[in-house]
Structure 1
């Protein structure tokens, strides 16, 4: 059973996503390989989510690099890569390998237009998910899209 925070986060994310079920198999669909494999990183509560090529395409996954902001110690990512948790914490999905993602906490200093300036986050040059993060979250929480 999922905890209330996970369910609430999912509800918040799903409100803006018209077709989260794109990555989930239908109850009427024949048995096949799952659209995602979720694995816990040993020694932590962090998980990686690996989508099949079809699931990543259905989710419309797009990424962008983390860049250095003008001030030392600050990073920049597209605002679309910022995800909010119910408790106000922020995070993003960092690309680990092809179609493989890990949720990473970030600290947002400011938002200007479509750019978020961070004081903590993934390293410069790493890729973050800008489109499809709610679908990756659904896969991570093992939500079928029919719940």
Structure 2
């Protein structure tokens, strides 16, 4: 497991709290919420939308899920893999401008900087490769005191 993925909760959640001033979802810059978190009907995951300022400050970046190899297996950068609290694996798919939703992935193998998936988002889906821990912190609405 890479160092960046082991820090999923710690550094990312701290940065989210600092950026937001007090909490991951309340006003920080020009009275604009750093992140808006919305429930998704019939789902345990939430949609996270960052303000332009927050997305820029966090340096959120995405990369596409691809199909590689003779058997066309799904692959994505390993930095997109998030290990959730219960040990399940996820990624954050870009669903709109500065808008992200957690999607399940099943990692079949890891080779260098890439994860080969046995299940996950379709090829072409943009997944967060920089800032995923901050998206998780915002989704879970973790503030600096938790």
Q: TM-score range by the shorter chain?
A: 0.7 to 0.9
1:19 matched to 2:11: no
1:130 aligned partner: 129
Query: How far does residue 58 in structure 1 lie from its aligned partner after superposition?
Result: 1.3
TM-score normalized with structure 2 length: 0.82
TM-score normalized with structure 1 length: 0.81
After superposing on structure 2, the runs of 4+ consecutive aligned residues of structure 1 that deviate more than 6 Å are: none
1:45 matched to 2:40: no
Partners of 2:91 and 2:144 lie apart in 1 by 21
The count of corresponding residues between Structure 1 and Structure 2 is 136
1:82 matched to 2:102: no
Partners of 1:53 and 1:22 lie apart in 2 by 16
Partners of 2:70 and 2:40 lie apart in 1 by 32
8 Å contact from structure 1 (residues 138, 145) kept in 2: no
In structure 2, the gaps of 5 or more residues are: 1-5
Q: Pick closer, same or farther for the CA change 1:31–1:63 going to 2, 3 Å.
A: closer
RMSD: 2.4
